[in-house]
Amino acid sequence: MELGFNVRRIHSSEGTEILPRPPVVTVMGHVDHGKTSLLDALRQTSLVAKEAGGITQHMGAFVVGMSTGASITFLDTPGHAAFSAMRKRGAAVTDIVVLVVAADDGVMPQTLEAIAHANAANVPIVVAINKCDKPAADPERVKNQLGAEGLELEDWGGKVQVVEVSAVKKTGLDDLEVALLLQAEMMNLKARVDGPAQAYVVEARLDKGRGPLTTAIVKAGTLVCGQHVVVGHEWGRIRAIRDMVGKSTDKARPAMPVEIEGLKGLPMAGDDIIVVDSEERARMLSSGRKKKFEKDRVRKINEERTENLEPSEDVPKRAEMPVIVKADVQGTVQAVTDALKTLNSPQLFVNVVHVGVGSVTQSDVDLAQACGACIVGFNVKSPPTSVSQAATQAGIKILMHSIIYHLLDDFGNLVVDKAPGTFETQVAGEAEVLNIFELKGRSKAKGDDVKIAGCRVIDGCFTRSSTMRLLRSGEVVFEGSCISLKREKQDVDTVAKGNECGLVIRDWHDFQVGDIIQCLEQVLVKPKFISSESGTVRIEC
């Protein structure tokens, strides 16, 4: 690489024993369309109740054994707009995508995104129309919508199987299993069982007692306890392998989701796992990758800053909002960071200064105090009282949330408060000219003759320090400052609606009865935080 060559690692294909393997199935679809409930019904456990607000916040992986003796590995992906990267990652390691669409809701934004991810990864789709037990269910409408999006459904002579199910009533589940096994049989899925393992990280989290834990799916070969591995820019010796029920095992076979213990740090979700011969080799690879990762990270930050430090003359300078993001697992950290960055606007730049896995600590508060950042904790335990008190004393805001909608709403309002805003000219009041009075100049010292407009305020109020705009027949004739505002011969600062007054505009003497005079004021307008039903958020300036 130093000599300018592009080096791409080709996984070792050692090993001759090639056997059929279970399919890896990713469940995708729009938020709240019943993906986790459907998987619940398939494996007879209740995961939905454990998820905050009934919304899946990160990926789950598990194996479902069928009554026929066959097994299927399932990945459950989140549906919310912020978790696009996770859905993409799910599609990359999968064989079949189950697209869950609610029969009463139809095709929604994340449904279309899931179709796009599956097509990009060249993965076949099986459609599961869920919530068919609801009174408002209309499966035919859903099929028409999917057909309009380019899916060639089996009912219409295509290849995409459609199954009508109800996760609550547990109907149609056998048909879905048959459809998945049929699709897997047509694909003739096989993998080598012996030789070095080829595996991918699905998720990574930090456990208080056991350290970094990595959820991985083996694609080929066998991952054995005690092997030295390099995962992204981290390395370690596999201390323990557990299946998704938490039972210890010596080895992981293809299409088997496992939790690996023993890495020195947290890898990024989506990294591949490479088995190496020795600890020295693992250290060397990891160290080289860390240097490159750090170099790329610094370059990226510099590029972002350069973009933000070159505003054109007519654009006001952007304010910066430093943020520290802490979440329960590595994949969620990335998803939350990406979601927060969507709230960048021409007025304010969201700068993520630090990310990490685990709860908010004193060092996070110290860093936040040093750079004036706010701390976002997602799906993590509340910080200890000492940390909370230190943050309060330092004036640092800590946002703790377990549902992505609430986090984005809260953070969006914070961004709006922090944005500098722009000044706009607004009409504070309107008055109609009823009569014109002329004050003759008595001597040269007193100046020229003065024309006074006798007006009645018909809307809002008039302020002497404001700029006045004169309208005649609906067209702007003149704009200038007010040099005198009187009511009943008394100088006043303001005149309210319904009252009469006399006013003089600098350098203007040609008033006519029926003219409209507007009182203009400069108002600071803050940007608006807009959240759509589909879950997307933006800041509108």
Residues 219-266: tens digit of each pLDDT: 888 889 989 999 888 899 999 998 877 788 888 888 888 889 888 888
Tell me the pLDDT band of 313, cut-offs 50, 70 and 90. very low
Assigned domain for 274 exists:
yes
Assigned domain for 107 exists:
yes
Q: Is 416 left (phi over 0), alpha (psi -120 to 50) or beta?
A: alpha
Q: Which of 373, 486, 487, 503 is nearest to 430 (CA)?
A: 503
Can you give the CATH number for the domain in which 116 is found?
A: 3.40.50.300
Same domain, 387 and 536: yes
Same domain, 411 and 430: no
Assigned domain for 6 exists:
no
pTM flag (> 0.85)? no
Assigned domain for 344 exists:
yes
Most confident of 389-398, 406-415, 521-530: 389-398
Same domain, 28 and 154: yes
Most confident of 57-66, 378-387, 410-419, 530-539: 378-387
Assigned domain for 91 exists:
yes
Same domain, 339 and 257: no
Q: How far is CA 271 from the centre of its chain?
A: 21
Domain that holds residue 478: 423-525
Assigned domain for 393 exists:
yes
Assigned domain for 3 exists:
no
Tell me the pLDDT band of 7, cut-offs 50, 70 and 90. confident
Across 15-19, 117-121, 536-540, least confident range: 536-540
Can you give the CATH number for the domain in which 267 is found?
A: 2.40.30.10
Same domain, 140 and 203: no
DSSP assigned state of 250: S
Same domain, 160 and 216: no
Q: Name the more confident of 147 and 11.
A: 147
Can you give the CATH number for the domain in which 396 is found?
A: 3.40.50.10050
pLDDT over 70 (residue 48)? no
Write down which residue in 286, 311, 331 finishes a domain. 286
Write down which residue in 130, 157, 190 finishes a domain. 190
Same domain, 368 and 330: yes
| All residues at 6 or more sequence positions from 238 whose CB lies less than 8 Å from its CB, including other chains | 223, 224, 225, 226, 227, 228, 229, 260, 261, 262
Same domain, 324 and 376: yes
pLDDT over 50 (residue 416)? yes
- Asked if 519 and 428 count as a contact pair (C-beta separation under 8 A), the reply is yes
| All residues at 6 or more sequence positions from 281 whose CB lies less than 8 Å from its CB, including other chains | 228
Strands (E), 464-515: 467-472, 475-487, 490-491, 494-496, 500-505
Same domain, 29 and 57: yes
Same domain, 183 and 205: no
Residues 481-514: tens digit of each pLDDT: 888 888 888 888 888 888 888 888 888 888 888 8
Assigned domain for 305 exists:
no
Looking at the structure of the chain, the number of domains it has is 4
pLDDT, residue 228, reads 92
Same domain, 248 and 337: no
- Asked if 100 and 35 count as a contact pair (C-beta separation under 8 A), the reply is yes
Residues 143-198: tens digit of each pLDDT: 888 888 888 888 887 888 888 888 888 888 888 888 888 888 888 888 888 878 88
Same domain, 168 and 25: yes
